[in-house]
Structure 1
Amino acid sequence: MTKQREKSRQTRRELMDAAMALFADKGFGETSVAEITARAGYAKGSFYRHFDGKDRLFLDILERKLAEYRAQRDRSIEEAADLEEALRVIWDFLATMVADRNWAKVFLEFTVHAARDEGLREELGATRYRLSEDLFARLIRPFVPEGYPARKLGALNTALFEGFMVHNALESGVLDLADVREAAVALSRTLGAAGHEEET
């Protein structure tokens, strides 16, 4: 790798790290590009050489964070013996995101922000940025019989998780992630059994 390319990668990393620290402190909406570049020690021009805006920067941070989480999840899910174990692996993976409370809040804020922009909403819906119903279905398919509604299970688990993220951000303290995980596993078993009966 050339020195120039390594320098470019370092600049990009430092801008992303500065942005994430500011997003955690102030929120996505309240953080400006000028603040990000000042914190990282770069001029605004450096920012725009690497990102075409704050939205793109956030999506790149999200992709980097999820790649780290998914590497561990994919190793663990290969060792699962059945659907219940596979679901627990996935929920353990989700728990790592919830444990980072600042990140969870920033992710929710960005999700609401993206909902108002059709192009951004579609991009955020891509599987590399979230645990979509299609990705979830792909993860559990090796553990379920033919006819099991894997995509519907993916949508159900995704909705439960994203609903819990909102609940958790409001800090009501009524539910914890273990409660939601156990409900998701039970609902998944019920839904799968009903879907399998319809097929037979």
Structure 2
Amino acid sequence: METGKRVTKRRAETRQRLLEAALAVFAEEGFGRSTVEQVCDRAGYTRGAFYSNFASLDELFLAMWERRSAELVTGMRTTFDGLADTELADVRSVVERLLPAIPLDDVWYRVSAEFTAHALRNPGLRRVLTAREETIADAAVPYLVALLGRIGRAVPDPAALGQALIAVHDGTATQCLLEPDNPTVWHRRTDLAVRVVTAYSTETGGKP
């Protein structure tokens, strides 16, 4: 007889394989054309295994989004901790060190863009997706605020800065992914982020 610990471990492994399989299927087929059967075939499981973990493809995607968000916040935290002894001169120096912690992934972009379009047609999903984006911003912006404090800048409205930076990220992602080898679009992404951070922060009268 299996112990509860083994069952829990096996269930976690099943969810992990389903999530990985779904990402591949969504990226290849498109979210709207993907089916539970395709995900199960890719993962090597039955429909029963799928439905014992997720009620629908929508729920699976949201679990995927949550995992991705956690990875993003962890990356931000790791980058922030690594800058503890780094000299920061200005807004650009802060932005140039934090942007790499928010990677642009072609596969994830294709999948998330399609699901966002799907969510826009579903009020319930739209609310969930909005809440999750706010959660990411709420978790990530404090690291940026702390780094800006080290160069003598304050952020009067962190929530507004978070929304603005999400807009910068989403707006420049397409250009950067379409022309990954064009340094100009990447430089412009950094320039735009610097301008936005500068606009949403104020000088405090000197470094602390």
TM above 0.5, yes or no, is yes
> Aligned partners of 2:194 and 2:117: how far apart in 1?
27
Rounded to whole Å, the distance in 2 between the matches of 1:110 and 1:71 is 23
The one-character-per-residue Cα deviations of 1:162-183 (angstroms, maximum 9, x if unpaired) are 11234446x2678623311222
Q: Which of 137, 152, 158 is 1:150 aligned to? A: 158
Report the Cα distance in structure 1 between the residues aligned to 2:140 and 2:76, rounded to whole angstroms.
Answer: 12
Q: Which residue of 2 aligns with 1:177?
A: 186
Q: SS in structure 2 opposite 1:29?
A: helix
1:126 is aligned, of 103, 127, 131, to 131
Q: TM-score, normalized by length of structure 1?
A: 0.80
Residue 164, structure 1, aligned to residue 172, structure 2? yes
Contact 1:135–1:154 (8 Å) recurs in 2: no
Q: For residues 96-130 of structure 1, what are the alpha-carbon distances to aligned partners after superposition, in whole Å with 9 as ceiling and x for unaligned?
A: 2x1x2111111111111112212211211234687
Q: Hey, what's the Cα distance between the residues in 1 that align with 2:34 and 2:135?
A: 23
User: Which amino acid in structure 2 is aligned with residue 105 of structure 1?
Assistant: R
1:112 and 2:117 correspond: yes
Are 1:19 and 1:36, in contact at CA under 8 Å, matched by a contact in 2? Answer: yes
Identity between Structure 1 and Structure 2 (%): 26
Residues 117-164 of structure 1 show CA distances to partners (whole Å, capped at 9, x for unaligned) of 1221121123468743x4454333323455633332222211111112
Once the two structures are TM-superposed, the CA of residue 52 in structure 1 deviates from its matched residue by 1.0
Moved over 6 A (4+): none
CA distance in structure 1 between the partners assigned to 2:159 and 2:70 by the alignment: 22
- Once superposed, what is the RMSD of the aligned Cα atoms? 2.8
Structure 1 counterpart of 2:41: 38
* 1:103 maps to amino acid: W
Alignment size in residue pairs: 191
Structure 1 residue 103 and structure 2 residue 111: aligned? no
C-alpha distance 8-131 of structure 1, shift in aligned 2 (>3 A): closer
Aligned to 1:69: 72
Contact 1:59 1:129 in 2 (8 A): no
Specify every segment of 5 or more residues in structure 2 that has no aligned partner in the other structure, as ranges: none
Gaps of 5+ in 1: none
| Counterpart for residue 59 of structure 2 | 56
CA distance in 2: counterparts of 1:90 and 1:147, whole angstroms? 16
CA displacement at 1:51 relative to structure 2: 0.5
> Distance between the aligned counterparts of 1:74 and 1:128, measured in 2?
17
TM-aligned CA distance change 1:5 to 1:190, over 3 Å: closer
Q: Which range is displaced more, 145-154 or 13-22?
A: 145-154
CA distance in structure 1 between the aligned counterparts of 2:20 and 2:144, rounded to whole angstroms? 33
Shift in CA distance, 25/160, structure 1 to aligned 2, threshold 3 Å: same
* Residue identity in the other structure for 1:140: L
Q: Residue 121 of structure 2 aligns to which amino acid in structure 1?
A: R
